[in-house]
Amino acid sequence: MKGNCVQIQKGSMLVFCILVGFFGFSWCGRLDAKTPQLRLTMLDATEFTGHIEPSTAHGLIRFRSASSEESKPYTMASVRGIESLDYLNRIIRARVEYETPPNCIRLIDGDSLEADVRNITLDGVEFESPQTDMNFLAAAEVAGVTLQRPTRSLALTRNERRRLRNIPNSMAETPPTHLFYSVAGDVLRGRLVQLDADSLTVDIRSRRQEISRERIATIEPLRESPAKDVSSGSHILVTYSRGCRLSFSSIEVSDDAIIGDHSTFGKCEIQIADLDSILLNQK
């Protein structure tokens, strides 16, 4: 009987350890998801690995290194950048300099906003984004829209782009307005009528056609987008959500988000769990 009691106690302890291990790992997983491991690099190339912590002080970042129990303030002027270790591992494995986000709106200044695009017309783009309360962008601000990742490369050569932008005289009255890239990598030139939740409506050589939205990966305007000057104060570049990027004039850090001031979207909020990198002093 005594032996049986000991056996039961051992079994109970084993079950207890398994439960503690399970819930412990689950809790740690949730913690890591909210506070990813980051690498802070100073201008003098000194590096620290740890976590970014809340700070509302102007021009300061609080960072707690893995070897310290307390965070320390660093002036933004002395920091080159902060990068997620997961992000660094991804781009090394993929052998790319930048990632391509699956759903975003690209601006003419080079920024890109994570967005669920609801509607596109010649006037502009209606969308919802977790980063901003803004939900409409005028067409003149938009350099392109990515609805989903393609299964094949969508890269065009400079000569191919020049040829597609060359509008024949026969189409001068109702010229094509956009390039439409399919998921399979094909390119279609046509005059945009509307993109909604289900389909793309486009005029091709004066014939109206409807194409399932599921077949469209990217939409780009045919016009040459003028370069927008973002040099006036936007010197903090934040990359997030696997390839989206926004330039801010200033940032602060809350418990779980980076909050920045953007020249187009105003106040933006990026979850730290989605953070890829922060590059400072990008003048």
Which residues, other chains included, contact 184 with Cβ-Cβ below 8 Å and sequence gap of 6+? 150, 151, 152, 215
Of 249, 250, 245, nearest to 270 (Cα)?
A: 245
| Rounded Cα distance, 109 and 4, in Å | 74
Average pLDDT, the chain: 84
Contact, 112 vs 243, CB < 8 A?
yes
| Rounded Cα distance, 61 and 37, in Å | 16
For residue 248 the two structure tokens come to 């801010």
Of 53, 117, 101, nearest to 255 (Cα)?
A: 53
Q: Is the pLDDT of residue 39 over 90?
A: yes
pLDDT at 232: 52
Name the band, by pLDDT with cuts 50, 70 and 90, for residue 16.
very low
Contact, 132 vs 246, CB < 8 A?
no
pLDDT in tens, 84-104: 999 999 988 888 777 878 899
Q: With pLDDT > 90 as the criterion, what percentage of the chain qualifies?
A: 63
Of 62, 103, 47, 89, nearest to 219 (Cα)?
A: 103
Q: Is the pLDDT of residue 161 over 90?
A: no
pTM assigned to the model:
0.81
Which residues, other chains included, contact 212 with Cβ-Cβ below 8 Å and sequence gap of 6+? 198, 199, 200
Question: 3-class DSSP state for residue 176?
Answer: coil
172-181, 219-228, 256-265: least confident range: 219-228
pLDDT at 257: 96
Query: Angle at Cα 207 formed by Cα 205 and Cα 211, nearest 5°?
Result: 105
Q: Is the pLDDT of residue 204 over 60?
A: yes
Q: What is the DSSP letter of 254?
A: -
| Rounded Cα distance, 155 and 163, in Å | 14
pLDDT at 104: 96
Bridge partner residues of 244 (DSSP): 240
Question: 3-class DSSP state for residue 90?
Answer: helix
Q: How far apart are the first and last CA of the chain?
A: 78
| Rounded Cα distance, 85 and 49, in Å | 9
Q: Report the run of H or E that residue 13 belongs to, with start and end.
A: helix 2-34
Q: Is the pLDDT of residue 142 over 50?
A: yes
pLDDT at 32: 46
